[in-house]
Amino acid sequence: MTRLFASAVTAGYGARDVLHDVGLSVAGGERVALVGPNGSGKTTLLRVLAGILRPSSGRVALDDVSIGDLPSRARARRIALVPQTFTTPFAFTVREVVTLGRTPYVGTFGRPAPADRDTVERAMDLVGCRALAERPISRLSGGERQRALIGMALAQEADVLLLDEPTVHLDPHQQREALEVLARPVRDRGACVVAVLHDLNLAAATADRIVVLAAGRIVADGPPAAVITPERMSSVFGAGLFVGMRAGVPFVLPEPLGSPPGATRSGWSTPSG
Amino acid sequence: MRRAPYGPVVAALVLVLLAALVAAIAIGAVAIPPDRVIATLLGAGDPAETAIVVSLRLPRVLGAALVGAALAVAGVLLQGLLRNPLADPYVLGTSAGASVGAVLGLTLAGALGFFVVPALAFAGAILSIVVVWRLARVGAETPIVTLLLAGVVFSAFAGAIVTFVLVSHDRLQLRLASVLAWLMGGVSVVTWTQLAVSAALVVIALALAMAVVWRLDAFALGEETAATLGIDVEASKRGVVAIAALLTAAAVSIAGLVAFVGLIAPHATRLIVGPAHLRLVPAAALAGAAFVVLADLAARVVVAPSELPMGVISGLIGGPFFFALLWRDRAAYRL
């Protein structure tokens, strides 16, 4: 069983630490949402977990092997990261981009084998971008491009899928679809997903676990109903949020402008199961 | 965007290159019909034709082809590395850096001249790429504005050094006219030995370029994404810089400063075969070779019996091409 484990991680850029003493453990089959205010260190944590930012102290291990000790190709076969922003000055097609997901499998001077091509076609089917295969990725809508990038990560066949705001350009129904696509590798291969999500409701509706970062520290880690509480939301995100519960899944709404402070508590009921 | 099938495109480019080579050998002060050119190349020419074709024209047109292939692929590599379609060894000052090394090599040139000149040109090219890239880089990106600026400044600086060396060195002063003709982009292949050295460098560098095509594709997605795909980013960058510098050094050793070939050939080729480097590198090499062979032919005939440096022709064609690209994309560059 895949297990990604970070302990006492402090990391940042230059002399500035963004993450302080972060500990996190994610097991295969889990879907974890990473939430928190802007600047709380979500993307930095994702980069540390992906092994592309070396922590200044602490350790990140995959199945008890420090990811800093893994050769980069071996690491890339286990961990994929879907970036938040993506631009390319060249007209690469969707198929060419998804094929780049096979990078850790082709030899240094090699070419993708027929089996790699099959994996690429399957990945494009999974994210529903087969029809876009010959289109230049730079000409796609934000949502289509995001699907193609998720397709690239799926073609990478990693056990750990890290996503940075994968739904930011998507319509509401597409947001759920994009996260649904990821359910399959989780179910079939025991992969785990860690996604930075801006939308607390989407996090609550799609993740098994929510990890809340504030000012570079993890302040909560648990099932959505245990994490998304009125007290925690007001302490992390400030006043003005209404936290409710529907069918055992918490939700968060902005309070109407001008409503009195403390109204945040009014919709809360204990989880029914 | 539909793409042409690759095989026929490469076949067509090979034919264009061969036709350009034959035409460039055939046309000159003594015209030799194309069928006689081919017969002579196959060893069935008369002594006079053989002398003209094999000793005079063939080394020169092959030199031109090497320059074109080298500059085109150097452009492809720099564009892929910097994620910037306007990168070109001339615009970036790489050629100017190589010319400093080459001119210093000329001052030392003795029996080993054909090795010293490209070796020092290589050192100059590497140095220029590193300096210009450091100057131009803003965070993780290399914006075109800072890149052009750094390239212009470096080229001016390198040009001053070249002029200083040329004027202050007695032995170069004696051959100033021919040295200047080379420096301005004149294809100057003196002997088969010189050609063989350059050809070996270009062939090795092209083979190395083919070995990094996959990494260049991954770089197009950004360095960070390339890293998450398992590419060793820093080592790959150093490798690509070294290959681009080697190609630029070989080209500068043969034909001095030639502008825009590294821009036109990759651009035109990318439109036909797409941006994937596995296809782009060979096609751009062929297109660049054909372009420079024809440009050198034009340089010999337009003011005959006098002769222009080939770089003048490529500059006259490439300048407006570069302006057009800047104009088209100026909003994106916030000029």
CB contact under 8 A, A97 and B231: no
Report the candidate in A12, A47, A91 with the shortest Cα–Cα distance to residue B279. A91
Residue among B224, B276, B278 whose CB faces A52 most closely: B224
HSE (CB half, 13 Å, CA atoms) of A133? 13
Q: Taking a contact as any Cβ pair under 8 Å apart, which residues of chain B between 282 and 301 contact chain A?
A: none
Q: Which of A47, A72, A154 to mutate to test the interface with B (most CBs of B within 10 A)?
A: A72
Q: At what angle do helices B113-136 and B192-211 cross, to 10 degrees?
A: 40
- Return the residue matching tokens 């060249």: A90
> What per-residue string of b and e applies to A172-194 under the rule 16 or more CB within 10 Å gives b?
eebbebbbebbeebbeeeebbbb
DSSP collapsed to 3 states, chain B: CCCCCHHHHHHHHHHHHHHHHHHHHHCCCCCCCHHHHHHHHCCCCCHHHHHHHHHHHHHHHHHHHHHHHHHHHHHHHHHHHHCCCCCCCCCCCHHHHHHHHHHHHHHHCCCCHHHHHHHHHHHHHHHHHHHHHHHHCECCECCHHHHHHHHHHHHHHHHHHHHHHHHHCHHHHHCHHHHHHHHCCCCCCCCHHHHHHHHHHHHHHHHHHHHCHHHHHHHCCCHHHHHHCCCCHHHHHHHHHHHHHHHHHHHHHHHCCCCCHHHHHHHHHHHHHCCCHHHHHHHHHHHHHHHHHHHHHHHHHCCCCCCCCHHHHHHHHHHHHHHHHHHHCHHHHCC
- Chain A touched by B204 (CB under 8 Å): no
Task: Give the integer Cα–Cα distance in Å for B258 and A157.
Answer: 46
Max mean pLDDT among B137-146, B221-230, B275-284 falls in B275-284
Span B217-255, pLDDT tens digits: 999 888 889 999 999 988 899 899 999 999 999 999 999
Nearest CA in chain A to B2: A134
Spell out the residues 6+ positions from residue A218 whose beta carbon is closer than 8 angstroms to its own. A22, A23, A24, A211, A212
CB contact under 8 A, A92 and B84: no
Judging contacts by C-beta atoms under 8 Å, the chain B residues touching residue A89 are 83-85, 220
Residue B208 and residue B281 in contact, taking contact as beta carbons nearer than 8 Å:
no
Q: Which of B229, B263, B277 to mutate to test the interface with A (most CBs of A within 10 A)?
A: B229
Report the candidate in A226, A233, A171, A230 with the shortest Cα–Cα distance to residue A202. A171
> Percent of chain B having pLDDT more than 70?
96
The mean predicted confidence, pLDDT, of chain B is 90
CB contact under 8 A, B276 and A77: no
Nearest CA in chain A to B213: A109
Residue among B221, B228, B270 whose CB faces A88 most closely: B221
Span B101-141, pLDDT tens digits: 999 998 886 656 678 888 999 999 999 999 999 998 887 77
> Percent of chain B having pLDDT more than 90?
62
- The distance of A8 to chain B (nearest Cα, Å) reads 23
First to last CA, chain A: 28
Residues of chain A with a CB closer than 8 angstroms to some CB in chain B? 47, 50, 52, 72-77, 79-81, 83, 86-93, 96-97, 100-101, 103-104, 106, 108-111, 134, 136, 156
Task: Give the integer Cα–Cα distance in Å for B202 and B66.
Answer: 7
Q: What is the pLDDT of residue B335?
A: 44
Q: What is the pLDDT of residue B113?
A: 66
Residue type, A260: P
Judging contacts by C-beta atoms under 8 Å, the chain A residues touching residue B4 are none
- The distance of B231 to chain A (nearest Cα, Å) reads 7
Report the candidate in B201, B184, B195, B313 with the shortest Cα–Cα distance to residue B249. B201
Q: What is the pLDDT of residue A15?
A: 84
Residue A210 and residue A227 in contact, taking contact as beta carbons nearer than 8 Å:
yes
Span B10-56, pLDDT tens digits: 999 999 999 999 999 999 888 889 999 999 988 888 888 888 888 88
Check residues A107 and B70 and name the one with the higher pLDDT: B70
Domains of chain B: 6-333 (1.10.3470.10)
Judging contacts by C-beta atoms under 8 Å, the chain A residues touching residue B240 are none
pLDDT band at residue B3 using 50, 70 and 90 as cut-offs: confident
Q: What is the pLDDT of residue B173?
A: 81
- Chain A touched by B152 (CB under 8 Å): no
Tokens of B23: 């035409």
Judging contacts by C-beta atoms under 8 Å, the chain A residues touching residue B83 are 88-89
Residue among B83, B211, B229 whose CB faces A103 most closely: B229
Q: What is the pLDDT of residue A109?
A: 67
Nearest CA in chain A to B272: A91
Q: What is the pLDDT of residue A267?
A: 53
Residue among B83, B217, B270 whose CB faces A100 most closely: B217
Residue B305: asked if its preceding bond is cis (omega within 30°), the reply is yes
Judging contacts by C-beta atoms under 8 Å, the chain A residues touching residue B277 are none
Q: Taking a contact as any Cβ pair under 8 Å apart, which residues of chain B between 214 and 273 contact chain A?
A: 214, 217-218, 220-222, 224-225, 227-232, 270
Nearest CA in chain A to B87: A89
Q: Name the phi and psi angles at B163, rounded to 5.
A: -60, -45
Size of interface A-B (CB pairs under 8 A): 77
Q: Is A80 helix (H, G, I), strand (E, B) or coil?
A: strand
In the predicted model, residues of chain A with pLDDT beneath 70 are 108-109, 260-273
Q: What is the pLDDT of residue B249?
A: 94
**Dihedral (C-alpha) B182, B186, B188, B194: value to the nearest 10 degrees?**
80
Q: Would you give the DSSP letter of residue A238?
A: -
Residue among B1, B84, B229 whose CB faces A100 most closely: B229
Report the candidate in A22, A1, A5 with the shortest Cα–Cα distance to residue A61. A5
Judging contacts by C-beta atoms under 8 Å, the chain A residues touching residue B221 are 86, 88, 97, 100
Q: What is the pLDDT of residue B139?
A: 77
